[in-house]
């Protein structure tokens, strides 16, 4: 838990851009750091904060998350559902996701070799890699033990 250190960095990133460090932004920042491995969507975050007694509108959640993404403080991922999922963006934390098509389990993985390979591919096609998004869909250990596959309702 180095939320403190992150928070400090978070504040300075905003200040450097002339943006304000508001209570709402702090709360949302802390919320997405609480379980960074669980990539949450805007509505989840909204409900979660409401339950904790914070009255932050969904519009503000969206504006704040987008602002985090634009300033490089967070990233937005498409995990095969219709909404976006958000996660803190720590430098060098580029990774992929394994997603179970049965139970919806999401597991992060990070492979340095893979990163090098993607950079080589980009280079080969004359592209300058900026970021990548990699999702592997399949069936997790537990779910692939059963023959009957049911659709998860995400």
Inter-residue contact 68 to 36 (CB < 8 Å): no
Residue 39 CA to residue 81 CA, distance in Å, equals 12
Footprint of DNA on 22-41 (CB under 7 A) = 22-25, 41
Among its own copies, DNA, none, what binds residue 60 when CB lies within 5 to 8 Å by partner kind?
DNA
For residues 57 to 86, the per-residue mask of contacts with its own copies, x marking binding by CB under 8 A and - elsewhere, is: ---------------------x-x------
- Which residues are CB-neighbours of 8 under 8 A, at least 6 positions away? none
Burial of 52 (0-12, 13-18, 19+ CB in 10 A): exposed
Contact flag: residue 114 with its own copies (CB under 8 A): yes
Which residues here bind its own copies, judged by CB under 8 A? 78, 80, 96, 98, 100-101, 107, 109, 111, 113-114, 117-118, 121-122, 125-141, 144
């Amino acid at each position: 838990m180095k939320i403190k250190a992150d928070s400090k960095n978070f504040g300075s990133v905003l200040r450097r851009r002339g943006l304000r460090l508001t209570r709402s932004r702090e709360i949302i920042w802390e919320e997405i750091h609480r379980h960074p491995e669980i990539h949450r969507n805007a509505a989840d975050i909204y409900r979660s904060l409401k339950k904790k007694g914070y009255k932050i509108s969904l519009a503000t959640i969206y504006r704040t998350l987008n602002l985090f993404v634009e300033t490089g403080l967070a990233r937005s991922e498409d995990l095969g559902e219709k909404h976006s999922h958000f996660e803190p963006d720590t430098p060098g934390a580029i990774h992929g996701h394994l997603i179970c098509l049965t139970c919806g389990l999401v597991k992060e993985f990070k492979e340095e070799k893979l990163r090098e390979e993607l950079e080589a591919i980009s280079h080969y096609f004359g592209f300058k890699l900026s970021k990548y998004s990699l999702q592997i869909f399949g069936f997790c250990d537990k779910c692939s033990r059963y023959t009957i596959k049911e659709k998860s309702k995400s």
